[in-house]
Structure 1
Amino acid sequence: MATKAVTDASFATDVLGADKPVLVDFWADWCGPCKMIAPALEEISEELAGKVSIVKMDIMENTGIPGEIGVQSIPLMVLFKDGKPVAQKLGAAPKSQLKGWLESVL
């Protein structure tokens, strides 16, 4: 299952209304570190498919939600549980670190 793109319009349904935790990867096309971690997030999405959904939000195309959350630097990953942000990680990291962090906050 590949990571799915969410928008300002679909955020409430796809993230806040989800029945399991959702990791939102805030990114932009011009962001090198964002592109670096994308393959790792795809793999983690498949490995943890039953536990968490991983979605991506392009901050250049969607300004509402990133503005509300206060996204100032990317890549920023925010974990939502029951419609609330419960953990966040800023910056690129190796897959093992990303997965370890995600498992520790799930």
Structure 2
Amino acid sequence: MPTIAVTDASFEDDVLKSDKPVLVDFWADWCGPCKMIGPALEEISDELGEQVTIAKMDIMANTDTPASFGVKSIPYLVLFKNGEKVADKLGAAPKSALKGWIESSI
């Protein structure tokens, strides 16, 4: 299952009202570490798609949601379950570390 793009307008429906956990990757096109983890998140989305939705939010195009969650640095990953933030991770990491963190958090 590919990652999905979420926006300020779709965040409530796509993330907060989701019936399964959603990992949101707050990112920007100019962010090198964001680009580094992008392919890993796509692969993880394919591997764990039945258990978790992986969503990406461009903080330059969508400013309200990142501001409401205090996003100050990127990449910033936030895991939501039942509409609540349950885990977060700041910065890039190898795929194995990202996948392990996601699996332990869902």
Normalised TM-score (structure 2): 0.99
Deviating beyond 2 angstroms after TM superposition, the runs of 4 or more aligned structure 1 residues are: none
Whether 2:87 is the aligned partner of 1:87: answer yes
* Counterpart in the other structure of 1:3: 3
- 2:93 match: secondary structure: coil
Distance in 2, Cα, partners of 1:12 & 1:48: 22
- 1:71 match: secondary structure: coil
Identity level (%): 72
- 1:51 match: secondary structure: coil
Distance in 2, Cα, partners of 1:44 & 1:29: 20
Distance in 2, Cα, partners of 1:82 & 1:4: 18
String of CA shifts for 1:29-67, please: whole Å, max 9, x gaps: 000000000000000001001100000000000000000
* Cα drift, residue 16 of structure 1: 0.3
Structure 1 residue runs without a partner (length 5+): none
Within-5 A mapping of 1:40-51: 40-51=40-51
Root-mean-square deviation over aligned CA pairs: 0.4
Count of residue pairs brought into register by the alignment:
106
